[in-house]
Amino acid sequence: MTSISRLLVANRGEIASRVMRTAHDMDIATVAVFSDADADAPFVRHSDEAVHLPGSTATDTYLRADLLIEAARSTGADAVHPGYGFLSENADFARSCARAGLTFVGPPPEVLESMGSKTVAKEIMNRTGVPVLPGAVVDSEDDVDADVLAQSSAGIGYPVLVKAAYGGGGRGMRIVHNQAELTDAVIGARREASAAFGNGTVFLERYLPSPRHIEVQILGDTAGSVAHLFERECSIQRRYQKIIEEAPSPNVDDDLRSELGQAAVTAAKAIGYVGAGTVEFVLDETGQFYFLEMNTRLQVEHPVTELVTGLDLVHLQLLVAEGHPLPAAVLDAEISGHAIETRLYAEDVPAGFLPATGPVHRFAVPDLPDVRVDAGVADGSVVGVHYDPMLAKIIARGASRDEARRRLARALVETQMHGVVTNRDLLVGILREPEFGAGRTDTGYLSRHDPASLARSWQSAEVERIHATAAALAGQVERRAEATVLPTIPSGWRNVPDGPQRIAYSAEDHVVDVAYSIDGSTVRVAVNAEPESELVLRSAEADCVDLEVSGVRRVVSVHRVDDVSYVDSALGSTTLTEVPRFPDPDGRDVPGTLLAPMPGTVVRIAVETKQHVSAGSPVVVLEAMKMEHSVLAPHDGTVTDIGVVTGQAVDVGTVLAVVEEET
């Protein structure tokens, strides 16, 4: 048997910290690798040693097998854990580790190779009797011929799903509803797949409109034993990426659980699987399941399996890598309770899930029983454009599904996430939505429920008024504390009564105006010219306001960073940006100006100057966080200016083009 003493974690973010936590528990020293962008990331501090990889892009750093091998050699590491993503399913990397005398914590290269291609995987599953959906392959080297594509899709039927053959996470994936859309979809999917995975091969597959996404956790050892650790439900997705997962699935009974588990074990044994992996299935409305893909690595959502089985999957991965057989705890595992995981992403939900960037001023999750946090950020972290926008996973366990759901919702409500925009409000909205509460979930959930409406659904109607009041009162306390003259006198105080103090905040797409006056113990406040009745100010500090409105007393937390106030209470969370009293008159854009909604790289310009465009047609395509995002024409009109070139890096607000509206 092999004994691992020093482990290089060839990954970043929360999964790097997660692996290190278990390695340290096993008295295994850890080595981190980090890019320029990750120099101050928490996972670097969690490691025993760390090696710098020059550059910021994944291509220059975490996808450089040669640099990772050299980092292992220079630190004396004897094993490599690839985490998930990056090179975790790369057969060549696994072989390079073996040649360097390093133990690769994962399946053999041959298994990675066979399952790395979704098309080869489907062929193997078909031969072993595991049900698969019909499909066809479009190789990365093939010319995209519309007639050939039409013939390939004819035997599949529309709608067709175009998928990257060598990757996942929704990258290189398109839904095609008719033949006219197919060619452009394949070209776009190949370009995105090539950028994300280094191989542009895609395949066409029959698209099931709203199936359930069920996956089975498997473990295999070097002696040929394979076991499954039950299923996970992963149907709540946006842009084909999971955002909420749970175990067990509320849609799987004991008989179906047995069938799914047996199919997963059969699939794993057919390829000689070793280590931790996942066999993914789609489940149609009749209950028939079909093989989707096999992930030959640890999954993002592995914590829910750990919480309902009491097993540490990273610990088991390391034991198997050392040559140990599967322990009895795996072979005799049972489900206990229910667990639900939410993925906290840096993204703007109302804007269509656009990736968000920026600093993390505060990240604080309440310390509640049976709530687990796997985080990749901390106070002071900066979220950039180079990597996946997932910031953390917040997971809750309960004796029942409803208990886990409620516990997780409360943890998210009390979470303070200040700075970068996140999907936190959407996650709370889903957890509290009746259809989700009843377990009626499938991949079409977010097409039936508007994400922006879900994000607002749990927030009180009066949250903005009360939070703006609290922000204004906390702000005046802070300003008086910083004053050098008469700091104990309330702001706006006059010997002779005068008009109130005024402050305006921008909140999303509108302005909130607050007028307040303080006269001894009397406080008067009007929000948007409407006076707040029966207002009693119990206390006010720069970071906390104890406020009673209409007989209801609430404690409101205020965290001010420069001109932005982050306000939290049981009513919800609000971000308020102070509006300058004297705005720059030249800071306006020409009508029809298209601004970059996020930092990214221009990968395609779809128009030319003087070209007529229709409302909703693509003008510029940006790549950010491994995904393509089309910036669309806001109206029918003519392109009068293009402000960028292909390959250019842009920041938020960069002028991309101007589309002059037709009159």
Q: Please give the backbone phi and psi of residue 190, each rounded to the nearest 5 degrees, phi first.
A: -65, -40
Of the candidates 257, 212, 217, the residue with the CA atom closest to the CA atom of residue 237? 212
Contact 232, 298 (CB under 8 A): no
Which tokens sit at 481? 């504390």
Contact 470, 567 (CB under 8 A): yes
Please report which helix (H) or strand (E) contains residue 263, including its range: helix 254-270
Which tokens sit at 383? 């979220």
The CA distance from 409 to 63, in Å, is 36
The CA distance from 377 to 357, in Å, is 13
Q: To which residue do tokens 């609430």 refer?
A: 554
Residue ranges in 26-171 assigned as alpha helix (H): 42-46, 65-75, 91-99, 109-116, 118-127, 146-154
Of the candidates 108, 47, 8, the residue with the CA atom closest to the CA atom of residue 321? 108
* DSSP bridge pairs for 338: 398
64 is catalytic: no
Q: Report the residue count for the chain.
A: 663
**Annotated catalytic residue: which of 12, 257, 297, 397?**
297
Residues 6+ apart with CB under 8 A from 628: 188, 191, 192, 603, 621, 622
Helix (H, G, I), strand (E, B) or coil at 194: helix
H helices, E strands: number in the chain: 18, 39
Rg (CA), the chain: 27
**Parallel, antiparallel, or unpaired: how do β-strands 29-34 and 6-9 relate?**
parallel
Contact 356, 311 (CB under 8 A): no
Q: How far apart are the first and last CA of the chain?
A: 77
Of the candidates 389, 317, 448, the residue with the CA atom closest to the CA atom of residue 169? 389
Q: Which of 521-544 are b and which e, b meaning 16 or more Cβ less than 10 Å from the residue's Cβ? A: eebebbbeeeebeebebeebebeb
For every residue of 611-646, DSSP letters joined together read -EE-TT-EEEEEEETTEEEEEEPSSSEEEEEE---T
What angle separates helix 109-116 from helix 118-127, to the nearest 10 degrees? 100
Of the candidates 150, 426, 107, the residue with the CA atom closest to the CA atom of residue 298? 107
Residues 6+ apart with CB under 8 A from 437: 402, 405, 431
The residues annotated as belonging to the active site are 297
